[in-house]
Every structure is written in C-alpha cells, then in structure tokens.
Amino acid sequence: MPVRPSRSLVGLLLLAVAAAATGAPPAADLIVRHARIWTVDPAQPEAESVAVLNGRITAVGTDAAVDAWRGAKTQLVDAHGKRLVPGFNDAHVHFEDGGSSLAAVQLNDASSVTEFVRRIGAYAATLPNGEWVRSGNWDETKWTPAELPTRQQLDAVTRNNPVSVWRYDGHMIVVNSQALALAGITAATPDPPGGVIVRDARGEPTGALKDAATDLLERVIPPPTHAQRRKAVERALAEAASRGVTSVQDMAVADGTIGVYAELLREGKLTVRIYAAPPIAEVEDEAHLEIGRAFGSAELRIGAFKTFADGSLGSRTAYFFEPFTDQPTNRGILSQDMLPPEKIRAWMMRADETGLQLCTHAIGDAGISAILDLYQEIDAAHGHRDRRWRIEHAQHMAAKDFDRFGELGVIASVQPYHAIDDGRWAEARIGHDRSSRTYAFRTFLNHKVRLAFGTDWPVAPLNPFLTLYAATTRATLDGRLPGGWFPEEKLTVAEAIEAHTMGSAYAEFQDTVKGSITPGKLADFVLLSEDVLSIPVTQLRNVHALGTWVGGVQVYQAPTGTH
C-alpha cells in the first residue's frame, strides 16, 4: 500500500486554528483505540488511543479523549488491548542485498560443509549454464571442524556455473575455480591493499577472498539489471513491513538502488522510509551540490556516507592493537579506504566541510580508535557542532575510548544480534579481557553515548524482536550461556525499544519528526502479538507484528490465525 504524503507541522497548526474557530477538531483519518501504547515519549509514556490526520499523529491519550477526533469517515482500529509501539527504525541495513538474499541459496543454517556443498549444487542445478550462484551467508563456525570451504569442494557440484557466495559477515567470499579463472586470480596475483587472497601450503588460491580481495571477483560479475534491483527491493519492502520496520538506513547503497527507491516513491509504492548512505568514495558527487546532511523528503533522503576502517571478527580482518589470540601473527587489516590514511582523511574533511554525515564501519579496537582520532582531528579543524558522527558496529572497544565516544558525541550504531551470534566463539579469537568490552551497550549508556539499533541485514535477520531479545538477554545462540554473555551489559526492554526507535531516528537527524508516538510526528507504528514490556525477556524472540502503519496507512496485516 502507498505511503501517504505527510502534512507539515505548519499544516497541522492551521488545522488546529480552524478547529478552535469552529469549536471542534477536524475528523481524524484513523484512530487506533483500546491499545496499550508505549510512546517512547517521556512526557507521556503510555496511552490507550492515537489519532492520525494527514499522515501525522494528531492526538495521543485515553480512549475518551482521542474519541473527540472521531468523524463519520474516520477509520477505527480496535487493538483489543494489544501493545502498540513506534515503528522500528533499522539503523544499519543493506536493503537490496537483503531482498536478493530472500530468493538466493540459503546457507546460513547449513550444519556441515557437506550440507553447504549439497545446497549449492542443488541450487546451481536450477540455473541456466553460465549464471552466477551468489549470496549465501554461510557460517563455518557451525561446522565441525570449523574450517573454510574451498574451491575444490564447490567445483565438484558446479561444473556449469561460476560461484561466489558470501560469508555471513559480508567480509569474505568463497568461489569456485571457474570464478577464479574469470577474475584472473592465480597464485601470482598479489594481495590487494586492504584484502587477502587465502592460499594453501603451495601458495595456490583456496577460493576464499577477504575484504578488498573480493573486489577482484566482484568486478567480473555482471551488475544486476534495473528490473532485478527493483524485484529485490520489492521483496525487501514486504519483509520490512511484515516485521514492523518502518524506516531503514541503507549503508553503502549503490546509485542504481537509489534510483529504484526514487521510482517506487514516484509510484506511491515506497512503504518504508529510507535514509541512503552511499560509499564515501562518491563524496564529491554530493559535496559540490552543497545539499548537506539529511536532504530529501520524509520518505527518501540522502546526505550521509559510509566508509570502512577494517574488516570483521569472523573473517579475522578486524583491526586490533594486539594479535588475535588464535593467530598470534595476525592483528587484522585496515580497509582499502584507510590506505593510505591521507585518502580517508581527505574524504572525511571534504564531507564535513559541506555538512555531510559520516558513518564509519569499525570493529576492532585499533580500527575504532583510528576513526575516533580522525573525528577528533576534524572537530579541531572545523569547530565543534552537532554532527552526529557514527561508528557502525563499534564492537570491540579499547577501555580508553569510551570517554572519547561521549565527548565527541559519536553515536554507537550497533547490532545486538551479532553479540549472541559472535558470543559462541569470540573469546577463542580475542580472549576474555577484550571480549569483556565487546558489544558494550550498558557501558556506552553509562558514558552518555547514544545507541542506535540495527541488524546489518542480511548479515542478521531483519527482525526487531530478535534485536530486543539479544539486547536484553545476551543469551548466545548455541544455548551455552542462557544467563547472558557478559550479562552486565544487558539493557532493559524499554531501553532497547528506545534505541531501536528514537535512537535510530536521532542517528539520522529525524528525532523531531519520528521515533515516538507523539502529536505532530509521523504516524509510524506497529501493533504487537505480545506485550513486550510484560512478558519474560526470553519470550521476546517469539513476538511478531500484527499490523504495521507508515504515515497512518496500513502496509502490513498479519494473516488470520496469527494474532
């Protein structure tokens, strides 16, 4: 269903003036009543009813008070006492990739390399000869032994198709020999800056490529057509609506994808609000326009850039001060964006001088510290102001840097699901001490750092209820730590909801227009199957959306029988 264009606050004020003159308010388009509303607005935390007029919230309160906005044409929704919360805002997704993954070979839950190979072979058999097998999201930590797959294993089942399937963290692919040949990667190919070609004992490529080395392969894969991009985005929109996600912040988005968003917006079919952050290498394209951050409409905006400091813990490419515990000669690697350092400094300075927002992927403690150094340098050069700089993931912190996060006003854009996933094996890679400062949500709040919650979809499921579950339980996915991995870092349910609504809105300069159920804000909210504020936190993972509204228009209704 289309997102209705929202009326400005000025327009609502004019309506209020007209209402005062006639003695009665204008009729609302929609009233949701008999609800248990958690507003995420400290001025009025709970309510029973909400009224919507022209895409914005016009009244919040008791059923009796809000009923004054009822008219002959007002749509009434009876919530039957269910919990209503603001629409979830996912602060870090890869939206088109997520939509593509829904139709690709599914590898994340493959429990062995044998099953991994079998699924790829079965999927390849459904494709025309020569078509690429892509996506995947495999995870070797679920296998015994936990070893990386090889091109030879893929070759046995994919004789007619090149293969390039991503590890679930998005920092490594494994390819077959046909794909290596198409890319011209041989034993003589040097590791590119910021990347690693994994090799066997003879120096031959195994088929695994890490970080910037993946570019050697990606450049020979035909880009998706406009029709393919649109189909992927349409799948992603449907998935978001079904999960109660009303806003997403799309990191490292491709230009062609932004074009699809614009096309869907013109057609009235963009059912999720999107803040698009292209790669920082494109900074000049926006800087010379002098549009500044958060440019566009409530439905589609640009003005931020995504850049990378390092890789990931799972691929052992996150950049640390000390080596990996299980690889004493490896500290990880800096990304190609950071090589040489003068390149990223120039990009960041250029973005900041034209008012554009910086969103930087940094996972290892040395990677995070290097980005804080750059942010501090920019602040000194250009003067202090409300920039809302972000560090995406902010996973493994050096103790010395929590204070700097707060002092610089840097937002920790974090993905709690990663904590209960990585918690299965992280200590074997970086030890107990470094792990104690990993996904440190409570410590961030104690240092006055704003949290913005996301999922990193398709790295993790686009499911806010799994995010709430992860943040409040920290119970690892393997069931080994039901009491929580470093439980001192747990959040309350209310804190987790705020981070996934107002926190994410703040991270995109939209906290004054969405993120809470407050009069004047955009009418984005979701009705829940269970009361997340009263059920045991262990049950949060089972909650689902009953209905999702964007701008007061219902974009999702759960099938009958799932209420």
- CB burial of 423-441 (b: ≥16 within 10 Å; e: otherwise) equals bbbbbebbeeebbbbbbbb
pLDDT at 24: 66
pLDDT at 562: 74
Give pLDDT tens digits for 36-85. Answer: 999 999 999 999 999 999 999 999 999 999 999 999 999 999 999 999 99
End-to-end CA distance of the chain: 21
Question: Reading across the β-sheet that carries 164-167, which strands appear in turn?
Answer: 136-138, 164-167, 172-175, 205-211, 195-199
Q: How far is CA 521 from the centre of its chain?
A: 23
- The number of CA neighbours under 13 Å toward the Cβ of 196 is 19
Residues 6+ apart with CB under 8 A from 259: 226
Antiparallel, parallel or unpaired: β 304-308 and 357-362? parallel
Location of structure tokens 């942010």: 375
| Separation of alpha carbons 96 and 101, rounded Å | 9
C-alpha distances (whole Å) from 496 to each of 39, 103, 414, 472, 536 are 13, 31, 11, 7, 14
pLDDT one digit per residue (tens) for the chain, 563 residues: 444 433 344 445 545 554 555 556 789 999 999 999 999 999 999 999 999 999 999 999 999 999 999 999 999 999 999 999 999 999 999 999 999 999 999 999 999 999 999 999 999 999 999 999 998 899 999 999 999 999 999 999 999 999 999 999 999 999 999 999 999 999 999 999 999 999 999 999 999 999 999 999 999 999 999 999 999 999 999 999 999 999 999 999 998 999 999 999 999 999 999 999 999 999 998 888 888 887 999 999 999 999 999 999 999 999 999 999 999 999 999 999 999 999 999 999 999 999 999 999 999 999 999 999 999 999 999 999 999 999 999 999 999 999 999 999 999 999 999 999 999 999 999 999 999 999 999 999 999 999 999 999 999 999 999 999 999 999 999 999 999 999 999 999 999 999 999 999 999 999 999 999 999 999 999 999 999 999 999 999 999 999 999 999 999 999 987 77
pLDDT at 16: 55
Q: What is the pTM of this model?
A: 0.93
Give pLDDT tens digits for 316-373. Answer: 999 999 999 999 999 999 999 999 999 999 999 999 999 999 999 999 999 999 999 9
Structural domains for the chain: 1-86+515-563 (2.30.40.10), 98-218 (3.10.310.70)
Give pLDDT tens digits for 173-204. Answer: 999 999 999 999 999 999 999 999 999 999 99
Question: Reading across the β-sheet that carries 88-93, which strands appear in turn?
Answer: 88-93, 245-251, 273-277, 300-302, 295-296
**For 276, phi and psi rounded to 5 degrees?**
-100, 125
Amino acid at 491: L
pLDDT at 535: 98
Cβ atoms of residues 209 and 196 within 8 Å: yes
Cβ atoms of residues 392 and 413 within 8 Å: yes
Cβ atoms of residues 334 and 308 within 8 Å: no
pLDDT at 294: 79
Antiparallel, parallel or unpaired: β 195-199 and 75-78? unpaired
Name the token pair of 557: 């209704």
